[in-house]
Amino acid sequence: MKVHYECLPCIASQCQRIVEMGTEDVELRKRGIIAAARLIGQMNENSVPAVIGSRVFLGVYGAIGNDDPFGEYKELSNRLAEKTVSNLEEQNIDIKTALKLAIIGNVVDFAVGYSPEQLEEDVRRMLGEELYRDDSDELFDELSRARSLLYLTDNCGEIYFDRLFLRRVKEAYPNVEIYVAGKEGPVINDATVDDLRRAGFERMGRVISTGTRIVGVPLGEVSEEFMEVFESADVVIAKGQGNFETLSEVSDPRIFYLLRAKCRPIARELGVPQGALLCIRSR
């Protein structure tokens, strides 16, 4: 997916959030924003939002001297989500509901002050929504024949919903070898390999790195190890907008996207209403 006109102000807004979360020093904040402006100036019509955005963000990290400005936010997200999911895990949730919960996990805003009680209420409300596009029957049919699954994670917090879904996948398809991919290092609130290991994903399957800190899966920049797994996987599940942005131009029916179309460019690309819950097979 190439940039839309809304992507520039979105990246700029995120940079302001990064400097304000990353340092109290006003001069460093200014240095970070000036660095961001220079890097945003490299954007062109063929830029992929997740890729150009990541390069800008990492440049801002260097300018303010903070390699993980979202660290506390990610810890809060994980604590809130883990508490909610632990309650859900006690219930007899089927695999299709677990898939929907994984999509819902992509929606919830783990802002400061967001309580577990509110999270549980929001989850229950969204469970009542229908998927606007639902290719999950095709996904489960492919898994029934698959030998391997590559699961591309998105953000901290929502990974606990992913873990619940993968447990149901493991129960339903015990012969499928599962690979779970995270980022090599911190970038915004994306889940890293270390985050996945701390969340217990090694009990689900093999945890691997994409080999890069770029959001999503930019196939020209991932590691050789990751590329080998990606190319050999029978099924690929890609969570969130960043993975869609970097893989959407790959016509590969092995790929299933689980996400909510949170912004207008994604909704426009997919031809769906903004806010739609989606399980979509790549064609």
pLDDT digits (tens, 9 = 90+) for 260-283: 999 999 999 999 999 999 999 998
What's the CATH number of domain 7-64, 3.30.300.30, 1.10.8.380, 3.90.110.10, 3.30.1490.20? 1.10.8.380
Q: What is the DSSP letter of 190?
A: B
- pLDDT tens per residue, range 137-166: 999 999 999 999 999 999 999 999 999 999
> What is the distance between the alpha carbons of residues 144 and 217, in angstroms, rounded to a whole number?
25
Picking from 17, 11, 103, the residue whose alpha carbon sits closest to that of residue 48 is 11
Query: In this structure, which topology does domain 74-281 adopt according to CATH?
Result: Rossmann fold (3.40.50)
pLDDT at 277: 95
Q: Does the pLDDT value for residue 114 go beyond 70? A: no
Can you give the residue ranges of every domain in the chain? 7-64, 74-281
Q: Does the pLDDT value for residue 122 go beyond 90? A: no
Picking from 97, 130, 134, 142, the residue whose alpha carbon sits closest to that of residue 255 is 142
User: CB–CB of 149/179 below 8 Å?
Assistant: yes
pTM beyond 0.85, yes or no: yes
Q: Does the pLDDT value for residue 111 go beyond 80? A: no
